[in-house]
Structure 1
């Protein structure tokens, strides 16, 4: 599959589920599948990332969006997913579109082997002419292990398949420089860097788990992978082709020309922090060119419990995130090494090692266009 013929589409809950009756909005789904059929006729592969399962199942478990807790939403997802899939399947048959459901969890993105396995499955479906409908597996996930929003999940799918375009359909027509209800709010047609707009995007919808903030985070992930992103209103006759053909207003997030490799994108674009390190400002500067490893003597602070192969966020002494990379040690091993800097690593761990915490080939320096994460509170000094 080439980048030139794959489009990932994310649909918000408010477009799929009626907010009052908590039933499928068949009119919207009909228009969406009709337009997907148009794209497929053009030779474009489409992957659909659709929210709505939780909303559609709430009535079955006797809850509302306001009253439902985590276990209620998990049960609602189990009830709503067949309703959502069946609705898409019935409408898809009208256009000769076969669909397949792909349920994912955080681990499918954060574990590289599972990431590649998922990628292979999605490619095989598209080769067979089947449209994948991807969802987070809400029926088994909890707040601690879930992706958290289908916006970022869809962006990771776009990264995974080297998509050309990533379209987020929602209940607003795009990004504004402040809340759109505020007087003087200005519509933003094109964005190269999402960072300046993050503070203007607070709030979320009643049915969904994410607001404009998560959409900007998703756009950033896609941009880094070389994918052009669009945010637009979903309530039009041709919601997808009208965007791609430039026929209506939307916000376009320009793909970076010097896109990161698949390996670099997987390391840099995380959905959850496994652990973090703090190093001196001098070491942080030396990490910029990507040729320097992080050594045991560089460690000033450690946070989190992690295993070998987890991605660590690396901060300088001022609490600014400077890089991300794969750990060669568990958090327990690393703390032992850090508090005993003058003892031989083999003596401490029982096996030979060069003491490279993060190898240079497994480290990605964060350039300005990356969204940096805040330093976790209470990051401990390894000497304590």
Structure 2
């Protein structure tokens, strides 16, 4: 693990692009990169998570944010990436540092080998004093295969590089206990349990794909990776330093002490559900009391079409998510094992294997302060009740 101080900064589309003209807001970009240059001088490694490519490319394809379809957005992203990175490169050179671009898909974050490859690339860029600019590869991803918001993607990158801080710059000054337009809305300066304020997170910007909900989800992911999250307004002058030095108000979601191992943090913090299992209540209660391997005889139903090595979400019969873990079998294999509990793995599958569907070393029992995913539904999934 590096002893270097590290920050991930996420910038939304509405801060980089004018909502009407869909052109770059150079004044904001100058203020942002000026602050990043100062942070680098102070010994920080910085990763910039930057939206904006789709918004900046919409003029080229003759579309607006309201009427652009998926193919329009993919084409706009291809056009906008050139504008965005060229501007970043020019401004960064003014402040004496260089940049690099890393485009990722959800598979790069969810598949362990590709996750490590991305981490190694970022580490090598840091070694050479180059700031990575990361974004989802919007030219290739489809709706069902994309992260969908850079807030949670930024949290995954913060987890990846073991960052000290995740800074989410947005169009508001932080979190309120209800929509800030409502009378008597109270500002929240410090937050430990994000679940208390999920009801106050409705709405997204015209240009962005995320709202306050995705920011709290990102903050929760970062908390469990030992990283604090700052939610603040993206002002033009000193947008980062004025927050980090306590000159203006913002919301801080505090880190939850020493994180678990990097392996277990990766297992726990997911961006997408590959599949899920529902355990009988007795097995679920036993698992929470004293983590033990999940056997095929514990399973009540199987959701999704998953593969060996995917991360599954585990629920009890009351719909409460209790664990996440890496499966030793595909959904088809789990189904065969569960329907023939007396037969051996070799007899049923044609090869010898440990019969546990998920072993304890590849599983994390969720803490109460970890945001759960909703219990799986029957929509668009393979569901088998045993």
Q: Return the offset for 1:3.
A: 5.7
CA–CA distance in structure 2, aligned partners of residues 60 and 261 of structure 1: 46
Residue aligning to 1:64: 64
Residue aligning to 1:223: 223
Structure 1 position 341 matched with structure 2 position 334 = no
Residue aligning to 1:103: 103
Q: Is the 8 A contact 2:155 2:218 kept in 1?
A: yes
Q: Return the offset for 1:353.
A: 2.5
CA–CA distance in structure 2, aligned partners of residues 238 and 367 of structure 1: 37
CA–CA distance in structure 2, aligned partners of residues 18 and 368 of structure 1: 41
| Deviation digits for residues 207-259 of structure 1 (CA, Å, limit 9, x no counterpart) | 00000000001111111100011000011411111111111100000001031
Structure 1 position 125 matched with structure 2 position 92 = no
Residue aligning to 1:165: 165
CA–CA distance in structure 1, aligned partners of residues 264 and 288 of structure 2: 14
Q: Is the 8 A contact 1:3 1:163 kept in 2?
A: no
Structure 1 length as normaliser, TM-score?
Answer: 0.98
Residue aligning to 2:93: 93
Q: Return the offset for 1:97.
A: 1.3
Structure 1 position 203 matched with structure 2 position 203 = yes
Bigger CA drift: 185-194 or 257-266? 257-266
Q: 1:346 to 1:150 in 2, by over 3 A?
A: same
State the Cα RMSD in Å: 1.2
Structure 2 length as normaliser, TM-score?
Answer: 0.97
For residues 1-384 of structure 1, the aligned pairs below 5 Å read 2=2, 5-288=5-288, 291-378=291-378, 380-383=383-386
Bigger CA drift: 303-312 or 369-378? 369-378
Where 1:314 maps in the other structure, the secondary structure is: strand
Q: Return the offset for 1:264.
A: 0.7
Where 2:60 maps in the other structure, the secondary structure is: coil
Q: Is the 8 A contact 1:3 1:164 kept in 2?
A: no
Q: Is the 8 A contact 1:173 1:233 kept in 2?
A: yes
Q: Return the offset for 1:288.
A: 2.5
Q: Is the 8 A contact 1:338 1:382 kept in 2?
A: no
Where 2:324 maps in the other structure, the secondary structure is: strand
Where 1:20 maps in the other structure, the secondary structure is: coil
Where 1:351 maps in the other structure, the secondary structure is: coil
| Deviation digits for residues 176-215 of structure 1 (CA, Å, limit 9, x no counterpart) | 0000001111000000111111111011000000000000
Q: Is the 8 A contact 2:174 2:250 kept in 1?
A: yes
Q: 1:144 to 1:107 in 2, by over 3 A?
A: same
CA–CA distance in structure 2, aligned partners of residues 63 and 381 of structure 1: 43
Q: Is the 8 A contact 2:17 2:52 kept in 1?
A: yes
Q: Return the offset for 1:4.
A: 5.1
Q: Is the 8 A contact 1:163 1:227 kept in 2?
A: yes
CA–CA distance in structure 1, aligned partners of residues 360 and 290 of structure 2: 6
CA–CA distance in structure 2, aligned partners of residues 230 and 4 of structure 1: 19
Q: Is the 8 A contact 2:226 2:256 kept in 1?
A: yes
CA–CA distance in structure 2, aligned partners of residues 162 and 290 of structure 1: 29
CA–CA distance in structure 1, aligned partners of residues 302 and 188 of structure 2: 40
Q: Is the 8 A contact 2:278 2:299 kept in 1?
A: yes
CA–CA distance in structure 2, aligned partners of residues 80 and 58 of structure 1: 8
Q: Return the offset for 1:260.
A: 2.1
Where 1:22 maps in the other structure, the secondary structure is: coil
Q: Is the 8 A contact 1:290 1:360 kept in 2?
A: no
Where 1:287 maps in the other structure, the secondary structure is: helix
Q: Return the offset for 1:344.
A: 2.5
Where 2:59 maps in the other structure, the secondary structure is: coil
Q: Structure 2 stretches of 5 or more lacking a match?
A: none
